[in-house]
Amino acid sequence: MTELVDQLAVSGNLAGDAFGELLRYRNAETMEYLFEQARATRRQVKKDVLQIWGRVPISNYCKNNCKMCGLRRENQFVKRYRMDTQGIIECCQYFAGNGVQTFLLESGEDVFFTEAYMSEVLTELRKHFPKSKIILSLGEKNRDFYLKMKKIGAYGALLHHGTANSMHFKKIFPANMSPLLKKQRLWQLKELGYHAGSGFLVGMPYQTIEHVLEDVWLLKEFEASIVEVGAYIPTPRTPLENQRSGNGEMTLYILAALRLMLPDAMILASPTLDCVLKDGRVRCFDAGADVLLMDLPDEELLNRYGAYQRKNGRLYLPGDNIEKLTGQLKERGLFQ
C-alpha cells in the first residue's frame, strides 16, 4: 500500500481501483506513511507556515431542509439569530485582538443576506480591518452577489458541495437543491477570481467509498484553493439523528490524501474533528492541514449555531483557547 501513497505523491492522483484500495484497506502503517508524505508536501510548499482563521457564525437561519443539518428549516427547536453589522464587527474585533486577521463569515442559506445588505457589512469590515482577509461561506448566492462582494474585497468563498454523487445527493438533500447547480456555482466562484473552496463530510449516511472517491476527484478537478473535510456528526432533531458518526481517523486519512492531490490548497483543521477524536483538530496538522479554524469563546452562540451538537444535545467543546492551540502546533514545528 505504501507504493500507492508514493504514486499519489508523485502524480497527484490515482486511478479508481487503486484509490479505492488505498481508502478501503487503510492500516496503521499506510496511515503513518501517508501522513509523513502529506507533512513533507506541506513543508515543501507552505514552509510549515500556519494560518489561523476566525469563524464568525453570522446567522443560523436557513431556507433549506437538508436531512443531516441542525439548521434545516423544519427544525423548530433551534433558536434562530442573525447578527447585525455591529455584532459582526465585534466578533472580528475579538479575533483581530488575538492576532487573527482572516475572518470566515458563515451562515445557513439566509435570504435576508441580500447583495445590498452584505455589501454594507463587507464595506464596514474593510474599513475596520483593512488588512484582513474575508472568506464567505453563505451558501448558493447568485453570480451578481459574489461579483459585488469580490469588488468590495472578499478574498475567498467556501461552498460545500455536500456529495458529488447525484444519487447520494438525493438521499440527503431536498429536491430544490441540485449537485449540478452546486458544481456550476463552484466554477463560477473561480471564474470571478475567488480563492474558492469546497468540502464534504466523511461518514455521511449512505456514503460509500465510491462516493468519497467522487468527492475527492471533484475537489481535484476543480483545483480547490480551500478544502474543508469534516466528520459527519448526527444532529438531534434531524431525520438522520440515529445514524452513526463519521470516522475521525478516516477523515484525517482523506485530508492527508488531499494534501498530496492539492499541494497548494489551504486545508482547514475544523473544530468538528474535536467531536470525533481527542485533539482531532490539532491532529489534522499531522495529516497535512495548514489552516487552524478557531471559534469564538461563546458557548451559547455556538450552541445556538448548532455546529457541534451531539445526541445528548450538549455542547461537547469548551471555548477555544488560541494560545493553547497555537502552543500545541508550535510543538509540532508549525509557526505563524
Residues near ligand SF4 (CB under 6 A) are 62, 64, 66, 69, 71-72, 108-109, 139
Shortest Cβ distance from residue 172 to ligand SF4 (Å)?
9
Beta carbons within 10 angstroms of residue 175's beta carbon: 7
Q: SS3 for 198?
A: strand
Query: CA nearest 134: which of 201, 187, 58, 221?
Result: 58
Nearer to ligand SF4, 109 or 228 (CB): 109
Give the Å distances, CA to CA, from 162 to 34, 196, 277, 296.
25, 15, 22, 25
Closest separation in Å from C-beta 254 to ligand SF4: 19
CA 38 to CA 9: how far, in whole Å? 8
Decide if 309 contacts 236 (C-beta within 8 A). yes
> Torsion over CA of 68, 73, 78 and 84, rounded to 10 degrees?
120
| Shortest Å distance, C-beta 333 to ligand SF4 | 35
Residue with cell 484497506: 25
User: What residue type is 147 in one-letter code?
Assistant: L
CB atoms near residue 1 (< 10 Å):
15
Q: Tell me the closest approach of the beta carbon of residue 156 to ligand SF4, in angstroms.
A: 18
Q: What minimum distance in Å lies between the beta carbon of 70 and ligand SF4?
A: 7
φ, ψ of residue 157 to 5 degrees: the values are -145, 135
At residue 124, the 3 state secondary structure works out as: helix
By C-beta, is 19 or 61 nearer to ligand SF4?
61
In the three-class reduction of DSSP (H, G, I as helix; E, B as strand; rest coil), residue 54 is classed as strand
Read off the amino acid at residue 291: V
Using the minimum distance from each CB to ligand SF4, give the nearer residue, 226 or 325.
226
Cα–Cα distance for residue pair 97/69, rounded to 1 Å: 32
Nearer to ligand SF4 (CB atom), residue 158 or residue 260 = 158
Residue closer to ligand SF4 (CB basis): 139 or 199: 139
Nearer to ligand SF4, 69 or 277 (CB): 69
Least separation in angstroms between CB 209 and ligand SF4? 23
The minimum distance between CB 75 and ligand SF4, in angstroms, equals 9
The smaller minimum CB distance to ligand SF4, of residues 12 and 174, is found at 174
